[in-house]
């Protein structure tokens, strides 16, 4: 597929950026329980109905229950933190999941697809390990025109047009059942620039402030997710959380 946000980086460069950023982030972070996020009312209910669950690249911010969920991440620091809480973990990446076909009833991959050079291969892997009636939970940033230096810094490779991500999902048998505006990105560009400066020049200090101050504040001021059918109105939306199902849409009543 074609990416228009910036000069193309190699897969090795993108992987290096992601490894460096997230290994440092999770090395000084504490695990936050999934019940503390605004995704929990829906995700917890879906998890209760799914015996076989997979979450890809949760870091130390898992959204599915720690018990009886398989967690996959490339960060050793994140995996250590998850294991300390009794979670089942595997060191792997989204493009090569070490599981048999049709293994999981519920698959969760938040804030990951935009980091992967071969996003079609990643979607193919998610589809491969999902059962015929599985649910997929996915989040992606929108609007290539909204690209900033911060996207480069945190290891993003792309942003998506809404119709583009819908078509990609459909190609692998997924339909978007509902969606919600998502993410904790500050609206102030000056705040983002300041955060990026500290992450570049005073990384340890910046990570401490993020993990100990800004993340707890973000959790405290979360708003309940407002779900709508399908993609909904995406004008001005920075990031979208999608609930996807396998197969055709049910007939109208």
What pLDDT score was predicted for residue 214?
63
Structural domain harbouring 144 = 11-181+223-246
93 in a structural domain: yes
Q: How far apart are CA 192 and CA 209, in angstroms?
A: 14
CB 136 within 8 A of CB 126: yes
199 in a structural domain: no
What pLDDT score was predicted for residue 76?
94
CB 58 within 8 A of CB 109: no
172 in a structural domain: yes
127 in a structural domain: yes
What pLDDT score was predicted for residue 22?
82
159 in a structural domain: yes
- CATH value at residue 72: 3.40.50.150
218 in a structural domain: no
Q: How far apart are CA 30 and CA 231, in angstroms?
A: 33
CB 230 within 8 A of CB 176: yes
What pLDDT score was predicted for residue 101?
98
Q: Tens-digit pLDDT profile for the chain (253 aa)?
A: 444 444 467 888 888 877 887 887 788 788 999 999 999 999 999 999 999 999 999 999 999 999 999 999 999 999 999 999 999 999 999 999 999 999 999 999 999 999 999 999 999 999 999 999 999 999 999 999 988 877 877 788 999 999 999 999 999 999 999 999 997 555 555 655 555 555 555 556 666 656 665 666 667 778 899 999 999 999 999 999 999 998 666 665 5
What DSSP string describes 39-88? THHHHHHHHHT-SSEEEES-TT---S-STTEEEEES-HHHHHHHHHTT-E
What pLDDT score was predicted for residue 31?
93
Number of domains in the chain: 1
CB 162 within 8 A of CB 234: yes
What pLDDT score was predicted for residue 18?
79
189 in a structural domain: no
21 in a structural domain: yes
């Amino acid at each position: 597929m074609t990416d228009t946000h910036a000069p193309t980086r190699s897969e090795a460069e993108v992987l290096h950026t992601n490894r460096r950023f997230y290994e440092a982030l999770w090395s000084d972070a504490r695990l936050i329980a999934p019940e503390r996020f605004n995704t929990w009312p829906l995700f917890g209910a879906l998890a209760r109905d799914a015996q076989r669950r997979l979450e890809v690249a949760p870091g130390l911010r898992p959204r599915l229950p720690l018990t009886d969920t398989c967690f996959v991440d490339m960060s050793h620091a994140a995996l250590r933190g998850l294991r300390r809480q009794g979670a089942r973990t595997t060191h792997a990446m989204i493009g090569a999941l070490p599981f048999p076909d049709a293994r999981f009833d519920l698959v969760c991959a938040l804030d990951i697809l935009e980091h992967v050079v071969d996003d079609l291969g990643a979607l193919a892997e998610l589809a491969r390990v999902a059962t015929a009636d599985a649910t997929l939970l996915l989040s992606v940033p929108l609007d290539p025109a909204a690209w900033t230096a911060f996207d480069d810094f945190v290891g993003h490779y792309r942003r998506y047009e809404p119709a583009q991500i819908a078509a990609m999902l459909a190609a692998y048998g997924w339909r978007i059942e509902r969606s919600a505006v998502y993410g904790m990105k500050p609206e102030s560009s000056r705040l983002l620039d300041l955060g990026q400066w500290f992450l570049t020049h005073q990384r340890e200090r910046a990570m401490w402030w993020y993990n100990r101050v800004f993340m707890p504040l973000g959790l405290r001021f979360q708003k309940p997710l407002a779900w709508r059918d399908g993609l909904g109105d995406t004008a001005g939306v920075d990031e979208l959380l999608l609930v996807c199902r396998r197969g055709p849409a049910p007939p109208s009543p």
